[in-house]
Amino acid sequence: MKTRRIVSLVSLGCPKNLVDSEGLVGTLLSNDFRVVANPKESDVVIVNTCGFLDASRKESLDAIRGAVALKSATGVKRVLVAGCMVGNYRELLEKEAPGVDALVGFGDYHRIDRIVEDLVGGHAAPEFGAERRRVDAALTPRHYAYLKISEGCDHTCAFCVIPSIRGAMRSFPTEDLVERARTLAGRGVRELNVVAQDSTVYGSDLYGELRLPQLLRRLDEVEGLDWIRLLYAYPTEVTDGLIDVLSSGKRVLPWLDVPIQHAADNVLARMKRGHGRAVLEKLVERLRRAHPRFAIRTTVIVGFPGETEADFETLLQFLAWAKFDRLGAFRYSREQGSAAADLDGQVPEEVKDERWHRLMALQQRLAFDAATARVGSTIDVLVDAAKEGPRPARCRSWLDAPEIDANVLVDDDTLKAGEKATIRVTEARGYDLAGTRA
């Protein structure tokens, strides 16, 4: 007797992978599969992996092994693996994660329903030819969402394998993206996080010219949204037109995530970033000049092959000068298939570690000083989680991207999850702020 098969999905890695997971879940729901959060309650577990760094691959392998173990301990019948590890680490998956029933590549995501049906059988799929209503899945809390505007990347950064996994850059049509944003706003999304591998080259393939400013202008008109945040910009592609939108939007925030990766000319050259320190200095000055409160988030890598102590000092001096509002730092990870994997001058792990800690100590000082300077001022926030017992409401200011940045803690049980509010800052607690409703 056919029944509605039950699927669960474990989504790992970056927001772009999360958007893929939402697509997979949407296709399954549109074909009458039930999708549950707890893998133990499912017939089929899908693990959407991240293959970006050693640590993320380890996390993915652990999740896969956990799912495979459920096959003997619970009613789980099949385990499928998707995501970036399928593209670049098949041998490792086969060696390190026996018991997986199928590896699903990006090219097969559109038919995930049939793959699951073929593997587990007995699914009460909608009748052939029956009208299938597209179900829109969300894996983020109701009040924020990610909008992926393109897939793939045309850059050749020496430390990165994403282009070989996700292919060349393909922009999604502006009309579809605006329609998606309206749908998201219609379902209560207030914060739209615009993501891509490199968001700044949006449109260059599809329209033969950079079209990100035009897209952001259209998104800026979408009723119901409060904040539109732009992530993953590439330093050389931040045009004056883009800076103009970012600094004059109604909903588009004066905020930009632009990973610089390093600041020493010869390290940037070895990374094949296509620019030097001067471009980064000019970019920081242009953004700060464009809006009095412009906030910049960035990411850096320490211990890239050939990085000398002097290069690292150059990076520290640049960070001390730029005073980025938010920063993430990674130790260089030697990626199989990347150009840098074969470079001379590989930096010993203990040196990477020591440099990572020195850099984080500097950034912590800058961040704590900036937080302290905010005491007494007011700041706009979105409430991510309401107060629960002794735990204050956990909010996030417009300066903070979801899941990766700081919080604003408010001991007020009138604040509801998803609500936008203005908070008077009364205290700095390290990276976080605390306050009361203004």
Q: Which residue from 4, 34, 114, 155 is in contact with ligand SF4, where contact means CB under 6 A?
A: 155
Query: Quick check: 49 binds ligand SF4 (CB under 6 A)?
Result: no
> Residue 83 corresponds to which tokens in the numbers above?
């995501």
Residue 299 to residue 330: CA distance in whole angstroms: 8
What residues pair up with 424 in beta bridges, in sequence order?
A: 378, 436
Contact region with ligand SF4 (CB under 6 A), list: 55-63, 152-160, 307-315, 392-400:
152-160
> If binding is defined by CB under 6 A, does position 383 make contact with ligand SF4?
no
153 binds ligand SF4 (CB under 6 A): yes
Does the footprint of ligand SF4 cover residue 162 (CB under 6 A)?
yes
Select 234 or 356, whichever has its Cβ closest to ligand SF4: 234
Element housing 33 (H / E): none
Of 160, 184, 258, 428, the one binding ligand SF4 by CB under 6 A: 160
- Beta bridge mates, 388: 391
Binders of ligand SF4 among residues 345 to 374 (CB under 6 A) are none
**What count of Cα atoms within 13 Å lies in the side-chain half-sphere of residue 424?**
5
State how far Cα 128 lies from the chain centre: 37
Backbone φ, ψ for residue 271 (5° rounding): -75, -10
Gyration radius of the chain over CA positions: 23
Stretch that binds ligand SF4, among 16-24, 154-162, 307-315, 424-432 (CB under 6 A): 154-162
Positive or negative: CA dihedral 186, 188, 194, 196: negative
Q: Which structure tokens are listed for 284? A: 């920081």
Q: Smallest gap, in angstroms, from Cβ of residue 410 to ligand SF4?
A: 36
Q: Does 50 bind ligand SF4 (CB under 6 A)?
A: no
192-221 binders of ligand SF4 (CB under 6 A): 197-198
Size of the residue set binding ligand SF4 (CB under 6 A): 9
The span of 31-39, 149-157, 180-188, 206-214 binding ligand SF4 (CB under 6 A) equals 149-157
Which residue, 16 or 387, is less far from ligand SF4 as judged by CB?
Answer: 16
| Strand, helix or coil for residue 395 | strand
141 neighbors 418 (Cβ within 8 angstroms) = yes
Residue numbers of the site for ligand SF4 (CB under 6 A)?
A: 153, 155, 157, 160, 162-163, 197-198, 234
